[in-house]
Amino acid sequence: MKDEAFRIEENRKLTEKVNYIRLKGNTAAIDRPGQFVSLSLPGLFLRRPFSVCERDEDGIALLIEQAGEGTSRLQALRPGAELSVLTGLGNGFTGELSGDNPLLIGGGTGLSPLFWLARELTAQGKKPIVMMGFRTAADVFFEEEFCALGICPLLFTEDGSAGRKGLVTEALRDLDFSMFYACGPEGMLRAVCEATEAPGELAFDVRMGCGFGACMGCSKPTVSGMKRVCKDGPVFRKEEILWDA
Ligand SMILES: Cc1cc2nc3c(=O)[nH]c(=O)nc-3n(C[C@H](O)[C@H](O)[C@H](O)COP(=O)(O)OP(=O)(O)OC[C@H]3O[C@@H](n4cnc5c(N)ncnc54)[C@H](O)[C@@H]3O)c2cc1C
Ligand code: FES
């Protein structure tokens, strides 16, 4: 884990609630899709964790959904603002296990780590399928960005105002894929696991305290005892999770 100074280069709205934020800084400790960073925001005691959406030698990009005080303050920062960022957090997805045609399933900003994963998998010659789920058409973002990678996503909205009407899980059984990777609300992750026999990895977005393994505040029951999402995750194999414990 490293505490680095990052500077905001770009901060623009994708939808009413979600911003794309590009930060310049040292990315040496960030090496795997599914990892996250933890930002210290002016005036707030606890850091806030966010998945890395894009990563290169010069910096990272995040997709930030307005949830409360921290995310509102972050969305309001202008280019040039400097932030303390903990990097090198989290285990990340095991892209090596993907097989030739993995399925990537994202709900809302759960798409963020999957975008980086999709880019890595296509660079390796794999042919991922992407399913993206939103509440309504006005919430949809990153469809064109995935298409630019050569993977036009299967889009679902709960009210049918864009793409297919319904939940991503409803179409899972019609698809042929080698393994799945999912990130989004916990209810979606569970429904995905229950809808397919295929192996998969889940990235959890839980409420965190310290964010680096000290407080146990983010623990989840697994087949091998309580595991910390921040330190042992945020990615877990689907067989590890005990949903009803
Ligand atoms: C590993 C990880 C990766 C994440 N990646 C992203 C990402 O890429 N983009 C993104 O927008 N968000 C992401 N989150 C969620 C993000 O960290 C929270 O939305 C953020 O910390 C909320 O801060 P806030 O100060 O705005 O809200 P607060 O004022 O702290 O909380 C506002 C409301 O949101 C709820 N809340 C806070 N944190 C979470 C959470 N983690 N999950 C669900 N509800 C929460 C609170 O209970 C409260 O109701 C991620 C979380 C984790 C743990
Ligand atoms: S947030 Fe403190 S141990 Fe995970």
Each residue of 97-119: pLDDT tens digit? 999 999 999 999 999 999 999 99
Please tell me if the CB atom of residue 207 comes closer than 6 angstroms to any atom of ligand 1. Answer: yes
Spell out the residues 6+ positions from residue 144 whose beta carbon is closer than 8 angstroms to its own. Answer: none
Q: In sequence order, what DSSP letters do the residues of 159-185 get, joined into one string?
A: TSSSSEES-GGGGGGG---S-EEEES-
> pLDDT value at position 8?
98
Q: Residue 245 — very low, low, confident or very high, per pLDDT cuts 50/70/90?
A: confident
pLDDT exceeds 90 at position 170: no
Tell me if 230 CB under 6 Å of ligand 2: yes
35-82 pLDDT, tens digit per residue, is 999 999 988 999 999 999 999 999 999 999 999 999 999 999 999 999
pLDDT at position 221 is 95
Query: Over 90: is that where the pLDDT of 174 sits?
Result: no
Number of helices (H) and strands (E) in the chain: give both, helices first: 5, 16
Atom of ligand 1 nearest to the CA of 64: 11
Confidence of residue 211 (pLDDT cuts 50, 70, 90): confident
Q: How far is CA 137 from its chain centroid?
A: 20
Could you report the per-residue pLDDT of 126-137, keeping only the tens digit for each? Answer: 999 999 999 999
Amino acid at 130: V
What is the rounded CA–CA span in Å between residue 6 and residue 55?
Answer: 13
Calculate how far, in angstroms, residue 209's C-alpha sits from the geometric centre of ligand 2. 5
* Ligand 2 neighbour 211 (Cβ under 6 A): yes
CA geometry: angle 123, 147, 139, nearest 5 deg: 125
pLDDT over 90 (residue 225): yes
Cα distance between residue 58 and residue 171, in whole Å = 38
Q: Of all protein residues, whose CA lies closest to atom 34 belonging to ligand 1?
A: 67
Count CA atoms within 13 Å of residue 43 on its CB side: 6
Residue nearest to atom 5 of ligand 1 (CA): 50
What is the predicted pLDDT for the residue at 187?
93
Please write the tens of the pLDDT for every residue from 176-195.
999 999 999 999 999 999 99
Residue nearest to ligand 1 atom 19, measured at CA = 67
CA dihedral 94, 95, 96, 102 (to 10 degrees): 120
Minimal CA–CA distance to 157: which of 143, 147, 145? 143
Nearest CA to ligand 1 atom 47: 207
Cβ 34 under 6 angstroms from ligand 1: no
Which residue out of 1, 45, 91, 210 has the highest number of ligand 2 atoms within 8 Å of its CB and is therefore the one to mutate? 210
For residue 244, is pLDDT > 90?
no
* Ligand 2 contact via 209 beta carbon (within 6 Å): yes
Residue in the block written with tokens 């407080």? 215
Place of tokens 């999402």: 229
Instruction: Label the pairing between strands 180-183 and 154-157.
Output: unpaired
What does the pLDDT read at residue 212? Answer: 85
Identify the pLDDT of residue 210: 87
Closest CA to 23 of 4, 40, 9: 9
In the predicted model, what is the mean pLDDT of the chain? 95
Looking at residues 151-176, what average pLDDT do you find? Answer: 93
Question: Is 213 strand, coil or helix?
Answer: coil
Which ligand is the nearest neighbour of the Cα of 229?
2
Q: What count of other Cβ atoms lies within 10 Å of the Cβ of residue 36?
A: 27
